[in-house]
Copies of this chain bind each other. A is one copy, B any other.
Amino acid sequence: MAPKKIALFVEDNYNDLEFWYPYYRMKEEGYQVSIIGTGNREKFTSKQGLVAQINLSSSQVNTAEFDAVIIPGGYAPDKMRIDQDMLRIVREMNGAGKVVASICHAGWVLVSAGVLKGKQATACIMIKDDLVNAGAAYLDQEVVVDGNIITSRVPDDLPAFCREILKNLK
């Protein structure tokens, strides 16, 4: 059987650890990870300066081929949320009941995709109001699992965040 395939979003100013920890963690588990960028660019730079090379642009993604989408925080989500293909990916994955996981400011992408109405979720405290205004019940805990939607708050939640993603994928 082919290994499960994970879509990992990227844009400039992504949080270094919220991107690379899930990247290597999913690989350690034997999954395939595709790095998905916006527009036509090949490379994106983290808040600290680490460069990530994409595998696919968001417009090239066929969600039928993926089992989960993971969205890191930092200020990258400020740009991801106006990329129509990233929003499409989140909506299609969510519609198919596949894992949609966001951490920290990445909650904005779920807000703009419109998938939080009536859901329990978390994110960093700064964007709590945006989640609530989008129809979510905001919980202040290291990871919130509401069906296929898995959300965390900050880098220190990464162990809990990945544990729940992996539990859901198995």
Partner of A81, one of B112, B129, B133, B159: B129
- Known interface pairs A82-B125, A126-B82. Does A48 touch B133 (Cβ–Cβ under 8 Å)? no
A41: CB under 8 A from chain B?
A: no
Residues of B within 8 A of A163 (CB): 28
* Least Cβ–Cβ distance between A9 and chain B, in angstroms: 15
- Known interface pairs A133-B111, A133-B134. Does A24 touch B16 (Cβ–Cβ under 8 Å)? no
Residues of B within 8 A of A49 (CB): 48-49
Find the B residue at minimum CB distance from A111: B129
* Least Cβ–Cβ distance between A34 and chain B, in angstroms: 16
Interface residues of A in 27-74 (CB under 8 A from B): 27-28, 46, 48-50
- The secondary-structure label for the interface of chain A is helix
Q: Please, how many angstroms separate the alpha-carbon atoms of A82 and B21 in the complex?
A: 28
A115: CB under 8 A from chain B?
A: no
A85: CB under 8 A from chain B?
A: no
Q: Please, how many angstroms separate the alpha-carbon atoms of A108 and B126 in the complex?
A: 10
Find the B residue at minimum CB distance from A50: B48
* Least Cβ–Cβ distance between A161 and chain B, in angstroms: 9
Q: Please, how many angstroms separate the alpha-carbon atoms of A21 and B158 in the complex?
A: 10
A138: CB under 8 A from chain B?
A: no
Instruction: Point out residues on A near B: beta carbons under 8 Å.
Output: 16-17, 20-21, 24-25, 27-28, 46, 48-50, 75, 78-79, 81-82, 105, 108, 111-112, 125-127, 129-130, 133-134, 155, 158-160, 162-163
